[in-house]
Amino acid sequence: MTKSFYPPLRTLMGPGPSDVSPRVLAALSRPTIGHLDPEFIRMMDEVKEMLQYAFKTSSPLTMPISAPGSAGMEACFVNLVEPGDKVIVCQNGVFGGRMKENVERFGGIAIMVEDEWGTPVDPAKVEAAFAANSDVKLLAFVHAETSTGVLSDAKSLCQIAQNNGALTIVDTVTSLGGSELDVEGWGIDAVYSGTQKCLSCPPGISPVSFSQRAVEVIEQRESKTPSWFLDQKLVMGYWGGGAKRAYHHTAPVNSLYAFHESLVMLEEEGLENAWARHQFHHSALRAGLEAMGIGFLVEEAYRLPQLNSVFVPEGVDEAEVRSKLLANYNLEIGAGLGALAGKVWRIGLMGSACNKQNVLLCLSALENTLS
């Protein structure tokens, strides 16, 4: 007979998922109720309000998609890109490449702005791409590149898009709750994130928000949105609000309890305090790593506090170190991706995992394993 599955108790300090708060896990196990139950609908309204707070937007088209971050990405592109549309896509890591895939799969023309992995998106190159191309509909970029640990200047990039009459799609999977983000203030038109990074929640839900301008563009589409599940006009029948909610799909009821709890925790802590906590523990981790002679891939000004890409010391088998950390300390850290595979480790300090105990565990475990 197959037995029940009991996972080991790990400390998750990789690129995500990160440690889930016990409060969030407890919320996940509360009794399932109907996804149109009046009490559930009341909770949905609270989720929307708290998500507006987390994104810093008043847009009513703010909601969680019932699927992981990749679905949030796809929801933004599938609703906003029509065949023949020109989209400037910035790539400085893995996830910009996925944006290009999305644009092309929905019939758009991706105009690529490339920056070296480990560096931020260069606003001057984006300006040049707008100058060289007319009728650009959208600018798409990743705010916090999880593959490298780089933060790009979303405010300036959105300003460039606005100056050129283009809408913006911004990936905030790793930044939401961990780094400054001001969706309305910066004029972001479509934004998506994930629950498994700085929100202390399990994976599987993707918060999104669309501006009024984006809503108008979606409503005026010439072609039918090619995805039924992610068509925002249909999703709004369920998430739109008020008593008129109608069945679209069966919402992941317990996952939304968990998400609700993680947003309650964010509200209790305060958004700015959460950003400051990530910065504070990053500084401690950095000091410890540097004392061990371990250097950072990314220049200090562009470093993400929640995702630390550090060079593997010369002559060290990086995969063996990660295996030992897992076996001896139940500690997970991440490997490098693509061109950075074998060269860097990615040490996450995200959400609940971003605390003093984890910093100390990681530093001592790494030091013992390397010596």
Least distance (Å) between residue 140 CB and ligand PLP: 12
User: Taking phi first (over 0 means left), then psi (-120 to 50 degrees means alpha), and beta for anything else, what does residue 16 get?
Assistant: left
Nearer to ligand PLP, 69 or 207 (CB): 69
- DSSP state, residue 21: P
Q: Would the annotation count 346 as a binding residue?
A: yes
Nearer to ligand PLP, 69 or 118 (CB): 69
Nearer to ligand PLP, 151 or 214 (CB): 151
Least distance (Å) between residue 153 CB and ligand PLP: 16
168 in helix, strand or coil? Answer: strand
CA–CA distance, 18 with 349 (Å, rounded to integer): 8
Least distance (Å) between residue 325 CB and ligand PLP: 20
> Which pair of tokens denotes residue 166?
């283009």
**Nearest Cα to Cα of residue 295 among 305, 310, 285, 284:** 310
Shortest-Cβ-distance residue relative to ligand PLP: 69
Pairing verdict, β 86-91 and 109-114:
parallel
Nearer to ligand PLP, 70 or 254 (CB): 70
Nearer to ligand PLP, 145 or 261 (CB): 145
Q: Are 208 and 169 in contact (CB under 8 A)?
A: no
Q: Which residues contact 226 (CB under 8 A, 6 or more apart)?
A: 78, 106
Least distance (Å) between residue 196 CB and ligand PLP: 6
**Nearest Cα to Cα of residue 51 among 185, 205, 160:** 205
Least distance (Å) between residue 309 CB and ligand PLP: 13
> Which pair of tokens denotes residue 62?
């703010």
Nearer to ligand PLP, 50 or 337 (CB): 337
Least distance (Å) between residue 91 CB and ligand PLP: 12
Question: Which residues in 260-343 belong to E strands, given as ranges?
Answer: 307-311, 331-335
CA–CA distance, 299 with 120 (Å, rounded to integer): 10
Question: Which residues in 149-236 belong to E strands, given as ranges?
Answer: 150-151, 167-171, 190-192, 206-210
Determine which helix (DSSP H) or strand (DSSP E) holds 28, and give its type and residue range.
Answer: helix 22-28
Q: Which residues make beta-bridge pairs with 139?
A: 88, 168
Tell me the residue type at 332: E
Least distance (Å) between residue 171 CB and ligand PLP: 5
Nearer to ligand PLP, 263 or 365 (CB): 263
CA–CA distance, 318 with 282 (Å, rounded to integer): 21
Q: Given the rule CB under 6 A, which residues bind ligand PLP? A: 16, 68-70, 73, 95, 142, 146, 171, 173-174, 194, 203
Determine which helix (DSSP H) or strand (DSSP E) holds 323, and give its type and residue range.
Answer: helix 318-329
Least distance (Å) between residue 239 CB and ligand PLP: 19
Nearer to ligand PLP, 164 or 193 (CB): 193
**Nearest Cα to Cα of residue 336 among 308, 300, 306, 365:** 308
Binding residues: 346
Binding residues for substrate: 346
